[in-house]
Amino acid sequence: MNKVRLAVVGLNFGRTHAANIRDGKSKGCELAAVVDKRADLKPHADSPHVPFFTDIGEMLAAVKPEGVVIAIPAQFHKAAAIECMQAGCDVLLEKPVTLTLEEADELIAAEKALGKRIFVGHHHRFDPTVNMAREKIASGDFGRLIGFHIFGTLPKPASYFAQDYKLKRDSGGGPVTSNGIHDADRIRFLCGDVSEVFSFKAASIRGYEVEDTAAVTLRCKNGAVGTYYISDCSHPLSEFTDTYFLERGTIRFHSSSFYRQPGLHIYEEGSLDESRGAFGAAEREKNIRTVRIPLQYPHAREIEFFCRMIREGIEPAISAAEGKKSMELMKAIIESMDTGRVVSLGTGQR
């Protein structure tokens, strides 16, 4: 079977995708070209057989890839994705799908008009711990989902902020946009759509225009409520990132999507033995199942799905419309941070 020919646009984060394709970590594809406007990043292409371009249009005309992985700042997503679709390519578009709901609608319309498909790179949906939790919650074994607590402590060095767009709200800066979009998508994936959010922000450590820390309370449409904490300056030492509370059990995990240290990729579920009629948690036996999962590469798995999407004509795992819903939640969190008000979703009363 011929390998799907993919191009990667953007070698900041995109170098991860390029390396996975080039080194065979993502099966069924080959790296046809890389693009970055910064010519000094050419060494990251790291192959004499892979052409390097500084212009998307030149690459599309010269190489004619079957699919394009776009990993550039979100403010440029719409234009780049439309240009690639006009050239006949399907697109894997890194998160968030766009920076505004209006741009997302324009991109969805262009996708339909051009007859191509956009797959949004919410790679947590390809992580085994996330999918184990989703299956257990959906099974009903532990009853209904009641609540959850999620946190992402992602400390970043000063060098991360060398690019100005990471410091400003209107260009996609701040941890809620850059990293929290994954958490927003994971909340929706595991807990269902959200109806209301209320959030606080802090910027006392870095002092930039955008937050460095946020604390959020959420209500889901199915009645579950939860809390979410994210920070790019907090210390990260913790064994678990997610905890989900159900009627008859608890699920928690530490996912390899977020932290790549060997030995920390854990899925755990537990319940209390009520057969003896004891009431206090300390008096009841804990039944706990722990699964330690080898280091995973969800980014590589999403590239493999992208290749199947192109070769077999299947629908995207995360469509542009689905990506818009997660981006809407992300923007509601930001709106609440900036205004100090509860923000409702899906009611037309934003």
Instruction: Output the tens digit of pLDDT for each of the chain's 350 residues.
Output: 689 999 999 998 899 999 999 999 999 999 999 999 988 887 766 677 899 999 999 999 999 999 999 999 999 999 999 999 999 999 999 999 999 999 999 999 999 999 999 999 999 999 889 999 999 999 999 999 999 999 888 888 888 888 888 888 887 888 898 889 999 999 999 999 999 999 999 998 888 888 999 999 999 999 999 999 999 998 877 767 899 999 999 999 886 444 555 555 789 999 987 766 655 666 667 899 999 888 788 899 999 999 999 999 999 999 999 999 999 999 999 999 999 999 999 743 33
Domain boundaries, the chain: 4-123+298-317, 125-294+329-344
Please state, in angstroms and rounded to a whole number, the distance separating the CA atoms of residues 36 and 42. 8
| Superfamily in which the 125-294+329-344 domain is placed by CATH | Dihydrodipicolinate Reductase; domain 2 (3.30.360.10)
* 3 state DSSP class of 221: coil
Strand partners, 76: none
Please state, in angstroms and rounded to a whole number, the distance separating the CA atoms of residues 100 and 177. 11
For 269-290, how does the pLDDT look when each residue is reduced to its tens digit (9 = 90+)? Answer: 999 877 666 556 666 678 999 9
List the CATH code of the domain at 4-123+298-317: 3.40.50.720
Tokens of 17: 């995708």
Q: What is the pTM of this model?
A: 0.91
Give, as one character, the DSSP assignment of residue 124: G
For 192-217, how does the pLDDT look when each residue is reduced to its tens digit (9 = 90+)? Answer: 999 999 999 999 888 888 899 999 99
Chain centre distance of CA 244: 19
Strand order from edge to edge, sheet including 67-70? 52-53, 29-35, 4-9, 67-70, 90-94, 118-121
**Half-sphere exposure at residue 210, Cβ-oriented, CA atoms within 13 angstroms:** 22
Residue 183 CB partners (closer than 8 Å, separation 6+)? 150, 152, 228, 230
